[in-house]
Amino acid sequence: MDRKSFAQKLTLLGICPFMIQNMTGSINGTTNTQEDDIQIIKSQKQFIENWLNDLLDSMNKHLDRNTREKIIGECGVACFNRHQFKKDIALNSKGNLDNLIENYKKNFEVWKDQNTVHIRYGEVSNKCYCPAANYRNPKPDDIHCECTRNTHKAIFETALGRPFNVEIAESLRRGGKTCHFIVHLA
């Protein structure tokens, strides 16, 4: 059996041939060159991109919008919990809205307008800041923006200790010129 047929059969069995390739180098005592490692990483990146696209397309096909928003929203909360700079925005605010706005200003364009707080990623953004979304084609009602919406929701709720409604006013992935979220205070 040739290498290509073997790799195809592994794929049909749900086994990633790139992982086998990487493991067999270790088992045989051989080491990969830097070029081999780069190729493996590129292949794994492509695999992950395809898998993520398949997952989101499948969710789109089989789940209602509300369920998809909840699932992607939980990813946003996890992103908040995973990244210290996001937690610091909330934790350094000590239950004070003015402090929260000042802490936000270290990373975002932020202003208060009556009963709302606006969080904007600059007047114009040239790319989405989420590495998971960067390699996917944007869509007019892109579900991925729910992740970021829920990250900001988690920051406000952690900082101020109560629920908030956060609205997506504009997003790059949905055809806007930047990402702009509105937090409703009342």
pLDDT at position 85 is 94
pLDDT at position 20 is 53
CA distance 81 to 58: 26
Q: Are 154 and 182 in contact (CB under 8 A)?
A: no
Full pLDDT tens readout for the chain, 186 residues: 666 666 665 555 555 555 555 544 545 556 788 888 899 999 999 999 999 999 999 999 999 999 999 999 999 999 999 999 999 999 999 899 999 999 999 999 999 999 999 999 999 998 898 988 888 889 888 999 999 999 999 999 999 999 999 999 999 999 999 999 999 999
The structural domains of the chain, ordered by start, are 1-62 (no CATH), 65-184 (3.30.1380)
The three-state DSSP-derived secondary structure of the chain is: CCHHHHHHHHHHCCCCHHHHHHHHHHHCCCCCCHHHHHHHHHHHHHHHHHHHHHHHHHHHHHCCHHHHHHHHHHHHHHHHHHCHHHHHHHHCCCCCHHHHHHHHCCCCEEEEECCEEEEECCCCCCCCCCCCCCCCCCCCCCCCHHHHHHHHHHHHHHHHCCCCEEEEEECHHHCCCCCEEEEECC
CA distance 153 to 145: 12
pLDDT at position 164 is 98
pLDDT at position 16 is 59
Dihedral (CA of 180, 131, 101, 143) sign: positive
- Render pLDDT for 65-106 as a digit per residue (tens, 0 to 9): 999 999 999 999 999 999 999 999 999 998 999 999 999 999
